[in-house]
C-alpha cells in the first residue's frame, strides 16, 4: 500500500479515469475500423491502493485498479504497469491478477524511464503501429527523465504527467543559486537542459556596489513554480503538437505542489483533457 495523498490525489485519479473513459469511447469506434489495439501504460503504478496517511487512515483506490475496472464502452486490450519498489510491485501483481484474471496485465519491477524507452521502440515497429496508447506518468518526485519523453514524440500516445513544479524543481532551486552538483544534475536530466540554461531561466544576476567594491549578486526570480510550469509546457510543445492546461495541485497551506497535464499529438484529445481539467480546477 502506498502512503501519500490528499484530496488532490483523488482528483488527479478522477481526472485520469474520466479521460480514460472518454478515450475508450472515442477509440472504440476507430479501433474496430482500423484494427487498432489499445494499450494502457502506467509508469509509476504503486500498489493499486493508496493509504491517505492521515489519522482516519482512509484508503483510496489507486489509479491502476480504477483503470482496470473500466469495461464500458470497452476495456483496454493490454495493461502495462511499472513499479520500481519490489514489494509494491508484488502487491500490485497480486491485487490486479486476482481481481482481473481475464485481463491482459503485465507488471514489471523496474525503472519507469527504461520502460518508456521500450514502449517507444515497440510503438515504432510494424506491430506497434497498430497500437494506440494512453500513458500515465505519476511520479512523487523528479524521477522522470526528459529523454524518456523525447522518445515518445510523434507517436500515437496521450501522456498524462504529474510535474513536480513545487515539490521538485522549486525545492532544488536554492535562493542564492548555490545548487549542489547532484541537484543541478537532477534538474538537467529532468528538464533536458544544460546548467547555464536552467540558471539563466530561474535567476537574475546584477552587480551591486558594496563597501569592498562591486559584487555579482545572484537572485532567484519570483514565481519560480509558475515559471517551471511554463517552461515544462514550452519544452513539451517542442515534442508534442498539443499540450493541455494544468490541473493545479495545492497542499493545505495553498502552496502549489504539482501541475498535472496531458501532452498529445491529437488536438481533440487535448480539447477533451482541457474540459475535464477546467472542471476540477473549479472544485
Ligand atoms: C505517486 S506513487 C503512484 C501512485 C499511483 N500512480 C496511483 O495513482 O495510484 C509513485 C510510485 O512510483 C514508484 N516509483 C518511484 N520511482 C520510480 C521509478 N523510477 N520507476 C518506477 N516506479 C517508481 C514509487 O515506489 C511509488 O509506488
DSSP conformation class of 221: P
In a domain, 205, yes or no: no
In a domain, 195, yes or no: no
Which residues constitute the domain of residue 42? 2-173+224-281
Q: Whose CA is nearest to atom 13 of ligand 1?
A: 44
> From the alpha carbon of 62, which atom of ligand 1 is closest?
9
Cell 484494427 locates to 35
Condensed to tens digits (0 to 9), the pLDDT of residues 102-156 reads: 999 999 999 999 999 999 999 999 999 999 999 999 999 999 999 999 999 999 9
Per the structure block, which three cell numbers stand in for 244? 493541455
> From the alpha carbon of 65, which atom of ligand 1 is closest?
9
> What is d(CA 209, CA 77) in angstroms, rounded to the nearest whole number?
66
In a domain, 256, yes or no: yes
Domain total of the chain = 1
In a domain, 37, yes or no: yes
To the nearest 10 degrees (0 to 180), the angle between helices 224-237 and 181-191 is: 40
Per the structure block, which three cell numbers stand in for 40? 494502457
Distance of CA 208 from the midpoint of ligand 1 (Å): 45
In a domain, 14, yes or no: yes
In a domain, 21, yes or no: yes
Condensed to tens digits (0 to 9), the pLDDT of residues 82-101 reads: 999 999 999 999 999 899 99
Indicate if the pLDDT at residue 4 is higher than 70.
no
CATH of the domain at 109: 3.40.50.150
In a domain, 71, yes or no: yes
pTM confidence score: 0.94
In a domain, 189, yes or no: no
Amino acid at each position: 500500500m502506498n502512503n501519500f495523498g490528499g484530496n488532490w490525489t483523488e482528483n488527479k485519479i478522477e481526472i485520469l479515469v474520466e479521460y480514460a473513459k472518454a478515450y475508450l469511447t472515442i477509440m472504440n469506434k476507430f479501433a474496430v475500423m482500423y484494427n487498432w489495439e489499445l494499450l494502457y501504460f502506467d509508469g509509476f503504478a504503486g500498489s493499486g491502493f493508496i493509504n491517505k496517511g492521515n489519522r482516519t487512515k482512509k484508503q483510496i483506490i489507486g489509479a491502476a485498479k480504477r483503470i482496470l475496472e473500466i469495461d464500458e464502452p470497452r476495456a483496454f486490450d493490454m495493461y502495462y504497469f511499472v513499479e520500481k519498489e519490489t514489494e509494491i510491485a508484488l502487491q500490485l501483481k497480486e491485487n490486479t491478477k486476482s481481481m482481473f484474471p481475464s485481463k491482459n496485465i503485465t507488471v514489471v519491477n523496474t525503472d519507469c524511464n527504461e520502460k518508456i524507452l521500450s514502449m517507444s521502440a515497440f510503438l515504432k515497429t510494424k506491430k506497434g503501429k497498430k497500437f494506440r496508447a494512453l500513458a500515465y506518468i505519476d511520479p512523487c518526485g523528479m524521477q522522470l527523465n526528459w529523454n524518456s519523453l523525447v522518445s515518445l514524440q510523434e507517436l500515437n500516445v496521450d501522456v498524462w504527467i504529474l510535474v513536480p513544479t513545487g515539490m521538485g524543481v522549486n525545492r532544488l532551486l536554492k535562493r542564492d543559486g548555490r545548487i549542489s552538483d547532484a541537484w543541478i544534475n537532477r534538474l538537467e536530466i529532468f528538464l533536458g537542459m544544460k546548467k547555464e540554461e536552467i540558471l539563466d531561466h530561474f535567476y537574475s544576476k546584477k552587480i551591486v556596489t558594496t563597501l569592498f567594491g562591486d559584487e555579482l549578486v545572484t537572485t532567484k526570480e519570483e514565481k519560480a513554480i509558475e515559471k517551471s510550469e511554463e517552461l515544462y509546457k514550452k519544452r513539451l510543445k517542442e515534442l508534442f503538437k498539443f499540450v493541455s492546461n494544468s490541473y493545479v495541485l495545492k497542499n493545505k497551506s495553498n502552496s502549489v505542489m504539482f501541475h498535472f497535464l496531458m501532452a498529445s499529438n491529437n488536438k481533440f484529445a487535448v480539447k477533451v483533457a482541457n474540459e475535464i481539467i477546467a472542471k476540477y480546477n473549479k472544485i
